[in-house]
Amino acid sequence: MSENILKRRELEILLDKLKTHPSPSRFLEQYTIPAGLAARILSVATYVYNDISGKTVFDLGCGTGRLTVGAAILGANYVVGFDIDKVALEVAKSNAVKAGVSDKVDWVLCDIAKLEGYCDTVIQNPPFGTGFRGADSIFLRKALEIGHVVYTIHKSETDEFIRRLVEKYGGSISIVFKSSISIPRMFEFHRKRSYMFQVNVYRIEVDSFDRKVEEESRSPR
């Protein structure tokens, strides 16, 4: 598939067929990214900015793997999905097998805050910080530490806060596009049949990335 252009709608259909979490956690904010939004982000990253094909891609808080699997489908050289939830990773593994990309993907059970390493591109649908206050900051900071380019999703109402964090951690925003996410009634505190909220998707370039990698390679082991 990587040798031919896969249309965004075709990718959306593929991603929409993947399994979701059987018992999502309110605390971990395990809302599955809509297939349409995942396909849009990955298509922009692949066809507009060349941030996926042939690259090493990390998906932080990968959940059941829609972004991870999608990156592999679109020609990433190697993709790793990281999550703290073992059940989510088991579902993600089966999704990679179903999509025929299990040979290009690894899954790692870990606390994102303790993650080390570097990659070409980070893609993430992080917690918004409603279940665990500050989770959005933890994910964004880690993404900017380990990635050369970052694609990340945050509530539109936190735009000013996100921009301050990006500047603080040495990144520069190259594009922002708006979208909306609808989630069904999932938890006991939900009263409506569905909830809609606005999000911003950011593409961030990390200004200090090359210097960090060079310094790391020179440091004694």
Note the pLDDT tens digit of each residue in 94-138. Answer: 999 999 999 999 999 999 999 999 999 999 999 876 656 778 999
A 10 A CB-CB count for 191 gives 7
Please choose, from the candidates 107, 89, 8, the residue with its C-alpha nearest in 3D space to the C-alpha of residue 48: 8
Pairing of strands 78-83, 56-60: parallel
A 10 A CB-CB count for 113 gives 11
* Of the listed ranges 12-16, 30-34, 64-68, 151-155, the one predicted with least confidence: 30-34
For residue 1, the SS3 value is coil
pLDDT classification of 216: cutoffs 50, 70, 90: low
Residue in the block written with tokens 């960090």 = 212
Distance CA 69, CA 95 (A): 7
Per-residue pLDDT tens digits for 18-27: 999 877 666 5
Domain positions in the chain are 8-215
Reply yes or no on domain 8-215 having CATH 3.40.50.150.
yes
pLDDT of residue 21: 86
pLDDT of residue 1: 42
pLDDT of residue 219: 61
pLDDT greater than 90 at residue 167: yes
| Residue 48: DSSP 8-state | I
60 and 115 in contact (C-beta within 8 Å)?
yes
pLDDT classification of 181: cutoffs 50, 70, 90: confident
pLDDT classification of 197: cutoffs 50, 70, 90: confident
Residue in the block written with tokens 């805050």 = 113
pLDDT greater than 80 at residue 43: yes
Residue in the block written with tokens 């505190």 = 189
In this prediction, residues 152-160 reach a mean pLDDT of: 95
Separation in Å, CA 32 to CA 29, 61, 77, 164, 167 = 9, 11, 24, 27, 28
pLDDT of residue 80: 98
pLDDT greater than 60 at residue 190: no
Q: Which helix (H) or strand (E) holds 152?
A: strand 147-155
Mean per-residue pLDDT over the chain, rounded: 88
Percent of the chain with pLDDT over 90: 72
Separation in Å, CA 159 to CA 165, 192, 197 = 10, 26, 14
The two three-digit tokens of residue 212, written as one number: 């960090």
Contacts of 16 (CB under 8 A, 6+ apart): 35
